[in-house]
Amino acid sequence: MSRPSQPKLNTTDHNGVSVIQSQAHAATSSSSLPVSVAELQQVPQLVPANPSPGGGKALPPSKMKKPPADKDSEEYRQRRERNNLAVKKSRMRSKQKALDTQQRVNELKEENERLEAKIKLLSKELSVLKDLFLEHAHNLADNVQPPAGAEGSSPATNSTSTNGQ
Amino acid sequence: MSRPSQPKLNTTDHNGVSVIQSQAHAATSSSSLPVSVAELQQVPQLVPANPSPGGGKALPPSKMKKPPADKDSEEYRQRRERNNLAVKKSRMRSKQKALDTQQRVNELKEENERLEAKIKLLSKELSVLKDLFLEHAHNLADNVQPPAGAEGSSPATNSTSTNGQ
DNA sequence: TTGAATTGCGCAATAG
DNA sequence: CCTATTGCGCAATTCA
């Protein structure tokens, strides 16, 4: 949780030294094995040994920390490369996700506009119908029963306010 | 796991070598001299000279490249630090922006729901009013004019379909 | 030309 | 043990 490892030290924290042999990938000709010297670099074993003492089973709490990092070790290089790939992948996904999210915003905004337009339309329709309704109601209430169709007799059209959000 | 195995463009791109002297601020040794050794490291001038050829004006194609990078130069360190700062800042903003965008999505989604609910409501209201209207229209059309308020005479309520967009 | 801002990349610590 | 994430520094580029 959180980030305990935060040495406020500025320049060069863990990095310290980072010498990488420039294995110019140029040539590519014959010399197949570029680096392979020094593979017998034994790390100081923090734990003397663990030859299944007694029963000969279980070895769970092997609190083996980390032998710093065998620099030019073959395996080291391999791990680094793997990690580098993972990092690249992860970052790619991250970026993609950001793009997707941005696009989502655009889509939602669009839909929002559509919905608002629809609301406007419905509101208008409603208001019209209500007005018509009121008009009739008035006619009925006033007992005004014209013999044959008589419109345009409403001086003040009560505009019903649309539901205020 | 599928390991595409990177072809060759392996590590050490521009990096090549990256040795960073610890430069522990704590005076580890007696030489209290802060830092100022080796400052006369002149870089090989890539361009011999540029004595304004022709007129004494204009200097567009001054292909002055960058003397690689004076490693322990005082100014170098300063520039690095500045850049590191800028990088941190930039990344912070970038991350913040991503968060904001994500939140924007949430807000828009919320508003969308609200709008849809409103649409549903309005549609319902409209449908009711329309029905009522039709009913009355029928009554009038059928010339059904009860002496004094007599409703409930519509056996089949015509359900007007709501406008489907 | 200069300096800040971005960007791609590798390293190491750590989370899962 | 391995991959995925994350913070960080370096260097090349792009912007102003």
Residue B56 has pLDDT above 90, yes or no: no
CA closest to B112 among chain A residues: A112
In terms of Cα–Cα distance, which of B59, B151, B98, B110 is closest to A115? Answer: B110
Query: pLDDT at position A142, please?
Result: 74
Average pLDDT, rounded, for chain A: 64
Residue nearest to nucleotide D3 (CA to C1'): A86
Q: pLDDT at residue A53 above 60?
A: no
Residue B44 has pLDDT above 70, yes or no: no
What is the radius of gyration, based on Cα positions, of chain A?
40
- Cβ atoms within 10 A of the Cβ of A58, count? 7
pLDDT at A138 over 50: yes
Helix%, strand%, coil% for chain B, nearest 5: 40, 0, 55
Selection from B107, B108, B120, B118 nearest residue A164 by Cα = B118
Residue from B1, B2, B12 whose CB has the most chain A CBs within 10 Å, to mutate:
B12
Determine the average pLDDT of the residues in B112-139.
Answer: 91
Query: How does pLDDT run across B70-119, given as a tens digit for each residue?
Result: 888 999 999 999 999 999 999 999 999 999 999 999 999 999 999 999 99
**Chain A closest CA to B96's CA: distance in Å?**
12
- pLDDT for residue B26 is more than 70: no
- What was the pLDDT predicted at A65? 67
Rounded Cα gap, residues B12 and B80, in angstroms: 20
Which residues of chain A from 98 to 137 reach within 8 Å of chain B, CB to CB?
Answer: 98, 101-102, 104-105, 108-109, 111-112, 115-116, 118-119, 122-123, 125-126, 129-130, 132-133, 136
pLDDT band at A132, cuts 50/70/90? Answer: confident
The more confidently predicted of residues A164 and B141 is B141
> How much of chain A, in percent, has pLDDT values that exceed 90?
34
Which pLDDT score is estimated for A134? 84
E runs forming strands in chain A: 17-19
Q: Please state, rounded to an integer, the average pLDDT across all residues of chain B.
A: 63
Contact A112 B111 (CB under 8 A): yes
Which tens digit of pLDDT belongs to each residue from B138-147? 887 776 555 4
Q: What's the pLDDT at A141?
A: 76
Chain B's closest residue to A143, CA to CA, is B148
Nearest to B108 among A102, A109, A119 (CB): A109
Residue B162 has pLDDT above 80, yes or no: no
Better-predicted residue by pLDDT, B162 or A63: A63
- In this structure, is the CB of residue B121 within 7 Å of any atom belonging to strand C? no
pLDDT for B70: 82
CA distance B139 to B141: 5
Q: Which residues 92 to 151 of A reach strand C, CB within 7 A?
A: none
The pLDDT value recorded for residue A144 is 55
Q: Is B122 exposed, middle or buried (0-12, 13-18, 19+ CB in 10 A)?
A: buried
From A127's Cα to the closest Cα of chain B, the distance in A is 9
Residue B73, number of CB atoms within 10 A of its CB: 16
| Residue B60 scores a pLDDT above 90 | no
Q: For position B65, what pLDDT does the model report?
A: 57
* CA gap A95, A51 in Å, rounded: 48
pLDDT given at position B132: 84
| pLDDT score of A84 | 97
Q: Rounded to a whole number, what is the distance in Å from the CA of A138 to chain B's nearest CA? A: 14
Torsion of CA B30, B32, B34, B39, to 10 degrees: -80
Render pLDDT for A93-104 as a digit per residue (tens, 0 to 9): 999 999 999 999
pLDDT: is B69 or A47 the higher one? B69
**Å separating the CA of residue A137 from the C1' of nucleotide D11:** 81
User: In terms of pLDDT, which residue wins out, A95 or B53?
Assistant: A95
| Of A75-89, A140-154, B59-73, B74-88, minimum mean pLDDT range | A140-154
pLDDT at B59 over 80: no
